Amino acid sequence: MRIRLFAFDLDGTLLDTAPDFFKAVNKLRNKYSLGEADYDQVRCRVSQGAASLATYALDLEGQSPEKIEIHRQELLKIYEECCLDNTDLFKGIEEVLNKLNAEKVKWGIITNKPRKFAELIVYNKLGDFEIPFLICPDDVGVRKPKPDGLLHALDLSRTKSIESIYIGDHRIDVMAGKSADMITGAAAYGYIPMGDNVKSWDADFIFSRPEEILNLIKND
């Protein structure tokens, strides 16, 4: 079957944003006289969101949600100032997006990143690809694993779920894809949480490199 819509997560799937989150985490730690963070610890938390990163940065495990939220906002304010410094496309993504456009295959982005950050980063780092749609929690009122963003993408693109794939680097991406009755793809090259196993997500496809996505792009 031809896949008519390729929908992607953002962080850890299309863009390698971990270097800038690492920079922000270290700035936050420095503010509280803490040493440099472990890059691998930061990288594996990026797709889990800013609360997870703030919790790691200041060792807030077990602290109240209110305290974590204060430092999450603190981290995001720092991140806003450096979010374009070192972020770049994963190797192979440019080829994937160019082929989708050349073959006139529908595609777009569905992310848990707030639109404030997503728009800034996407249109700076991916703007050359004429992105058909960017869907954020701001647009649908909920975050993945709720499927609302994916269902909105299906409506926007006028595509059947069984002819669409959602690709992401976290278990919640596969959960959202399955809830939307879409084909699912796991970006195993992304920010997989420590101790997690991509194979246990039960995705329809597992991509160890972005270039492997090319095999699914057809125009016939």
- What would the pLDDT profile of 58-98 be if each residue is shown by its tens digit? 999 999 999 999 999 999 999 999 999 999 999 999 999 99
- Look at residue 220 in the predicted model and tell me its pLDDT: 58
| Confidence bin at 218 (pLDDT 50/70/90) | confident
Given the residues 9, 20, 148, 173, the one annotated as active site: 9
User: Is residue 11 flagged as an active site residue?
Assistant: yes
- Look at residue 166 in the predicted model and tell me its pLDDT: 98
CA distance 133 to 139: 11
Angle at the Cα of 43 from the Cα atoms of 25 and 141, rounded to 5 degrees: 80
What average pLDDT does range 25-30 have in this prediction?
98
Given the residues 11, 16, 148, 173, the one annotated as active site: 11
| Confidence bin at 219 (pLDDT 50/70/90) | low
- What would the pLDDT profile of 97-123 be if each residue is shown by its tens digit? 999 999 999 999 999 999 999 999 999
CA distance 210 to 127: 19
- What would the pLDDT profile of 154-175 be if each residue is shown by its tens digit? 999 999 999 999 999 999 999 9
User: Is residue 169 flagged as an active site residue?
Assistant: no
Residue 1 pLDDT > 90 = no
User: What is the DSSP annotation of 165-195?
Assistant: EEEESSHHHHHHHHHTT-EEEEETTS-PPTT
| Confidence bin at 193 (pLDDT 50/70/90) | very high
Burial letters for 17-45: b for 16+ Cβ neighbours within 10 Å, e otherwise?
Answer: bbbbbbbbbbbbbeeeeeeebeeeebbbb
| Burial environment of residue 124 by CB neighbours within 10 A (0 to 12, 13 to 18, 19 or more) | exposed
- Report the relative pairing of strands 5-8 and 106-110 from DSSP bridges: parallel
Q: Name residue 188's amino acid.
A: A
